[in-house]
Structure 1
């Protein structure tokens, strides 16, 4: 996982060609860069936080471009960014690829660099991007054509924004803070900026929109085989998201799961346990951290220990621990006092920009504290001890509601209405959720991965599952109970994180609605 920041300015002579490297632990502020842009300099600390292992600033006067990159290293060999590919291409890459050929090169960035290097003169950068399988964002500069390419994967699982100013400056960044005039990249769109014509094109798509099948199986004839096949594709999705991490990380740093205790994250946690059980790691007993966040809420009077998600997570963790005694499963109870909420509220509002509603804040701040991972373990005799998350790869159950009809508002819809709603939900998830969530989670120097949003899982779920199997997540509950033995969890009702963790409506001002714009003070 990496942070991306690029600035091109046709009217600005950079001071000199340079590559400045900042080792792990370097404090980077807004005066780090030799670039004269105050916007570029302001964004640098946000980018540096995403990749705590390494940062660099590259400036190339001939192309009037500056690249600032940061790296969170998860695969060997360690690869510095940005990458100069034979003086023809300059590459920044943020994310994880699951193409089988990646293993030959060791990591994603070197694999993409090899594809660019092997392009014939008439080859297309866009064709290279279309061949990638995974969750990612990128920038590529082609020296020969004098064009920049940038964008997000087909689902939009990594955040990326851009700005083209009135004087034809181009900015591209993983996160910007509350800097105006940036636009979130559309998931699956390849953006092409031509420095000769000063024009931006966004008419290239990596895939067509997903279409949810309207087919029905009112007799549930296929329920058994469909649930078995869904279990298989989900298991494979979790497996490749674990096995693509360099083994040393798994042996020395646990896999973490964002854990409310509900069915979505419990399915992910159980599948992680299955995958770890079938692999023999030198470290002995593998560890999983279940990260549960709960807030002190003055409006309700509830303490973190009283929230619905805390109670549910304790029960669900016990069920999973009994099912997988070979795995060291730690429930990390992350308590957020109201004073702590107030302290970090301005920072989270800044990070999640351009999202600006009360609902966005209540979700974003829950993910921020969960990924921060500063909590407690409850020992066998009831005492609690402080515990800091060690895992740097976090798995999330996001996407299950959009694929399997988990939202309450879907419960009484006619089949054709449910088809329309779910089609809209999965195709817009990059805008509704992913851009915001990646910004706040990655700020804590971790990477989040989404097994339900694997492209094969989405394709199977939209094409092969009858629409009536998606009422109240029937199909996922079937997988949970029949194949993962999560009977005590599979019947739990859906509860949004902001209500389960009590991060919504934190004050006694009960007139606020989720769609209300934030008071930034």
Structure 2
């Protein structure tokens, strides 16, 4: 993982060819004031292993001449008379792959510059001991540089295009790449926005073009008149970069004598990926015959679930359970492969475990509520990770042992001990209090920026604290009785964190899905689920990535694996969910069947509970800012924008 950023000055950036919802309109905004040290400090929290910068200077000419600054870490933002533009690249690395340490930005022999935040889990072939960024540097360096092609291969030179290479990647990524031979800047995010990349398009008030994994905080921001009037953190300054691949070719203006960069967005060339973006399901509305068969299977499945729950006896033989429909078996295998790709130890930087006893090294943790999604991830991780490793289950509560997520986490721990008794599970209890969050509150507000509602902040705080892994563990790690134990302080050192994002969107886990089904039947449900998947980058993933990565942890999303998404779209909707059934049965039906196959019979019937409610941070913030839960509900508190005058600050 790497925190990446770019500051471009001295180039007139033309965004007129971008879609209207991608290019910010010209507006009056305060010029955001932060130093390069502020930016580096924000990035360093994401990538604590190394921080570096490279400064590329462009001199005016019909074909601009590029050169690197003598001192890459020079913080002087002024452009001298001998150059007309500057591109300042930043990289802060959390080393997770390869056999040797790597420092970004990378500059190859052809003067191309790369800063990359991502993982290549498929699509491109690289050796198991290879670093993703090094591989991508070589691959992009071999791409066509004629500046005219954005298809699979250039018709002139026969080389692959940059768009084609990026379209082929399976896995989360955000990238900034300078191709020197064509004087073209490439940047973008994967199709689902699993890695954060913020953008400041130039405005009348600030002509600088910026890209960054996170919004840096400056003292000016915290006391500005603009902010006091309009809310947190110069919200109009930053926006989430819409998913896609962008290019900006830099050349000289013939008439005005300045450098001009025209920004264009390119279609992904991977046909399978484009189908996933459209999110069209093969079978949405069942026929009467389909429904008759489905109801018969459902009745048999419910009888089997009731029997298994009452006996609490897992299927020890591992044989196929005939009461569970075949799609659940196929999905189980796909999810297992997805978890395996994201947790195989050969992909983790080997120096991390040099000199560390294997039994003391925890490579992977899980954001854990004890609910359906996190229980499935835990059971699958047990099957994918070597038996000698412990697994940390990170659980946050704002109501001590009484929060619903703390109660379900303890119950889930007992069930995991039953299905995987040889595994050493460690429940990390992270206790929080809003009254103690004076510094943390302001910090998280900068992380969720440009998101700006109470719901965003509640979720952001819960994720930030949980991913930090700083809590308490029971010294009776092998006992099912947690009533008489002493808790000891513990901080998880796992750098990889599995998160259940995407499960609700794809399997109808939200209350609004049930509402859409009542109003528009199967087609209405499908449209609502598609809307959720197509906006998940804006509403969820960028915010969540920033809050988790701030602790030097990389979030990985097994439910958002490209193969898992494609498989779920190939399964008839009525096999995925049946919202005629009550909550805890029909919602996320197929995942409940997967849980049964894993022997998680108690988790299979748990209702959906969002982290802000399960941890009880929403209740506490409602009391603090609105006086009571009732008043907050009347004010629709979750969607209310936050202002500095609020009790949070």
**Same fold by TM-score, threshold 0.5 exceeded?**
yes
Deviates more, 1:157-166 or 1:56-65: 56-65
Q: Is the 8 A contact 1:5 1:44 kept in 2?
A: no
Q: Aligned residue for 2:461?
A: 365
Shift of 1:402: 0.5
Q: Aligned residue for 2:557?
A: 450
Deviates more, 1:101-110 or 1:435-444: 101-110
Q: Is the 8 A contact 1:257 1:289 kept in 2?
A: yes
Shift of 1:321: 1.7
Q: Aligned residue for 2:136?
A: 112
1-side partners of 2:446 and 2:143: how far apart?
40
Q: Is the 8 A contact 2:4 2:213 kept in 1?
A: yes
Shift of 1:176: 1.1
Equivalent of residue 92 in structure 1, options 111, 115, 120: 115
Shift of 1:40: 4.5
2-side partners of 1:247 and 1:322: how far apart?
32
Q: For 1:373-406, what per-residue CA distance to the aligned partner results, in whole angstroms no more than 9, with x for missing partners?
A: 1100123241111111111100001111001111
Q: Aligned residue for 1:474?
A: 589
| 1:25-104 pair list within 5 angstroms | 38=34, 40-62=36-58, 63=66, 64-76=86-98, 77-99=100-122, 101-103=125-127
Q: Is the 8 A contact 1:415 1:468 kept in 2?
A: no
Local SS of the residue matching 1:390: coil
Q: Aligned residue for 2:179?
A: 142
1-side partners of 2:285 and 2:327: how far apart?
13
Equivalent of residue 610 in structure 2, options 496, 510, 516: 496
Whether 1:234 aligns to 2:335 is: yes
Shift of 1:83: 0.7
Whether 1:384 aligns to 2:487 is: yes
Q: For 1:83-118, what per-residue CA distance to the aligned partner results, in whole angstroms no more than 9, with x for missing partners?
A: 112224211111211136222661110111121232
TM-score (norm. length: structure 1): 0.88
2-side partners of 1:423 and 1:312: how far apart?
30
Q: Aligned residue for 1:484?
A: 598
Task: Provide closer, same or farther for how the CA distance between residues 339 and 274 of structure 1 changes in structure 2, counting only shifts above 3 A.
Answer: same
Shift of 1:258: 0.1
Whether 1:311 aligns to 2:395 is: no
Q: Aligned residue for 1:23?
A: none
Q: For 1:237-261, what per-residue CA distance to the aligned partner results, in whole angstroms no more than 9, with x for missing partners?
A: 0000011334665743331000011
Shift of 1:319: 0.6
Q: Is the 8 A contact 1:263 1:489 kept in 2?
A: yes
| 1:166-185 pair list within 5 angstroms | 166=203, 169-177=208-216, 178-179=233-234, 180-185=236-241
Q: Is the 8 A contact 2:164 2:268 kept in 1?
A: no
Task: Provide closer, same or farther for how the CA distance between residues 72 and 389 of structure 1 changes in structure 2, counting only shifts above 3 A.
Answer: same
Local SS of the residue matching 1:172: strand
Equivalent of residue 393 in structure 1, options 461, 481, 496: 496
Larger proportion of strand: 1
Deviates more, 1:329-338 or 1:340-349: 340-349
Shift of 1:120: 4.4
2-side partners of 1:193 and 1:41: how far apart?
26
Deviates more, 1:99-108 or 1:262-271: 99-108
Aligned pair count? 483
Deviates more, 1:380-389 or 1:502-511: 502-511
Q: Is the 8 A contact 2:3 2:213 kept in 1?
A: yes
Q: For 1:410-435, what per-residue CA distance to the aligned partner results, in whole angstroms no more than 9, with x for missing partners?
A: 23511111111111111111111001
Deviates more, 1:428-437 or 1:212-221: 212-221
Q: Aligned residue for 2:548?
A: 441
Q: Is the 8 A contact 1:262 1:489 kept in 2?
A: yes
Structure 1, unmatched stretches of 5+, are 13-36, 296-302
Q: Is the 8 A contact 1:90 1:140 kept in 2?
A: yes
1-side partners of 2:547 and 2:138: how far apart?
32
Larger radius of gyration: 2
Shift of 1:476: 0.5
| 1:385-424 pair list within 5 angstroms | 385-411=488-514, 413=517, 414-424=521-531
Shift of 1:326: 2.1
Q: Is the 8 A contact 2:118 2:174 kept in 1?
A: yes
Q: Is the 8 A contact 2:197 2:542 kept in 1?
A: yes
